[in-house]
Amino acid sequence: MITAYLLTGSNLGNREGFLQEACTLLSKRAGKCKSISSLYETAPWGKTDQPSFLNQAIQLETSLSPEELLQALLKIELELGRTRSEKYGPRTIDIDILLYGNEIIEQPQLQIPHPQLANRRFALLPLFELNPQLVHPVTGITLEALLDQCPDEGLVHQLK
C-alpha cells in the first residue's frame, strides 16, 4: 500500500456534498481514506471571477498505481458532473493527486508531486493539517517552509 495525498475542491452546487461524495467514492474505488482535513473556504486560483471553493485534503492508502489512481479520480469527477470546458473554470468537483509516496513522476498526463503545490496555499494548508512532517520530494523543503515561502495570497479560511 502507498500513501497518497489528494486535494478535493468544489465551487458549484452543493460544494460540501460533492466533497463528501468524492470521499465516499474514493473509499469504494481507490483505497482507504485514512484521514481527511478540515474544510477550507478558498478564493479561486488562476481564474478569479468565479465563486469561492471548498477544499479538503485526503490521506489515501491505495494499492493502485499512480496511473490507475488518476483514472479512478477522473471517473469519479465525471460521475459527479465535472466538465472541462475552461481551464481553472468553475467545477462541481476537482480531485488532484498532490503526492504519491515519495515518487516523482513526469508524464504528459500525470505529474507528481502536483506541479503547482508549492504555489497554492489552498493545497498546502489542508495538507499541512494532515501531516506537518511531509517534505516535498523534489525540493526537499518541508510543508511549513513551503507555506512560509508561498506566493499565493488568496483567502484560505478553515471552516471545520
Catalytic machinery residues: 82, 91, 94, 96
Q: What end-to-end distance do the CA atoms of the chain give, in Å?
A: 29
Phi, psi values for residue 71, rounded to 5°: -65, -40
Q: What is the DSSP letter of 103?
A: -
Residue 70 and residue 109 in contact, taking contact as beta carbons nearer than 8 Å: yes
CB atoms within 10 A of CB 81: 13
The cell for 81 is: 458532473
Q: What is the DSSP letter of 52?
A: P
Cα–chain center distance at 90:
15
Q: How far is CA 120 from CA 26, 33, 147, in A?
A: 23, 23, 9
Of 2, 23, 125, the residue nearest 10 (C-alpha) = 23
